[in-house]
């Protein structure tokens, strides 16, 4: 996983504006489809902010989609990262990128108290589902879920496609 180039960090800082500087920190594990790094943003006034930079393979449209989804998620009364800057064209690093603020805490995939973990998850999900997003929901959030696409595939496969699937197995 290559570190973000100093030139790319300078272009990111220019996109953020206000005379800030951006310094790369360590890689962050867990990024499935992106090279993910912690960054530090130094403001002209001496303030510091921790950021996350996600860099995607060329041709990947995820940064734009995630940018819109983060904007929608910010309407929910739960902690969400703030959008900082997006570069879908790859002008900063030669690959599409997204910068956002960090959240406090850590991922706990193996909680010692599963009951409390499940309760917290249920509260968060209930909060999400009770949020009125209004009528201006971005199309990216309304896109069909993979499960609905799978149902379409199954309906195709159960009719005319079944013979083609059987033929492919031979």
Per residue in 101-135, pLDDT (tens digit) is 999 888 788 899 999 999 999 999 999 888 887 77
Q: Which burial class, exposed, middle or buried, applies to 41 when counting CB atoms under 10 A from its CB (0-12, 13-18, 19+)?
A: buried
Per residue in 40-72, pLDDT (tens digit) is 999 999 999 999 999 999 998 889 989 988 998
CB 64 within 8 A of CB 88: yes
Write down the residue that tokens 């904007």 correspond to: 71
What's the angle, vertex CA 108, arms to CA 105 and CA 111, rounded to 5? 130
pTM for the model stands at 0.76
- The per-type count for the chain, helices as H runs and strands as E runs, is 6, 5
How many percent of the chain have pLDDT more than 90?
55
- Rounded to whole angstroms, the Cα distance separating 106 from 170 reads 48
CB 111 within 8 A of CB 119: no
What number of residues does the chain have?
170
Q: Compute the 3-state secondary structure of the chain and give helix, strand, coil in percent, each to the nearest 5.
A: 40, 20, 40
């Amino acid at each position: 996983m290559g570190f973000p180039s100093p030139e790319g960090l300078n272009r990111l800082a220019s996109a953020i504006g206000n005379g800030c500087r951006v310094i790369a920190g360590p890689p962050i594990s867990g990024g499935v489809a992106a090279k993910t790094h912690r960054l530090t943003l130094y403001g002209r006034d001496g303030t510091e902010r921790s950021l996350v930079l996600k860099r995607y393979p060329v041709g990947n449209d995820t940064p734009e989609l995630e940018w819109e989804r983060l904007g929608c998620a910010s309407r929910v009364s739960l902690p969400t990262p703030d959008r900082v800057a997006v570069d879908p064209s790859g002008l900063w690093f030669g690959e599409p990128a997204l910068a956002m603020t960090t959240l406090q805490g850590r991922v706990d995939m193996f909680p010692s108290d599963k009951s409390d973990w499940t309760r917290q998850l249920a509260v968060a999900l209930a909060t999400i589902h009770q949020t009125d997003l209004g009528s201006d929901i971005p199309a990216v959030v309304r896109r069909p879920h993979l499960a609905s696409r799978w149902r379409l595939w199954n309906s195709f496969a159960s009719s005319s496609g079944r013979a083609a699937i059987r033929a492919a197995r031979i």
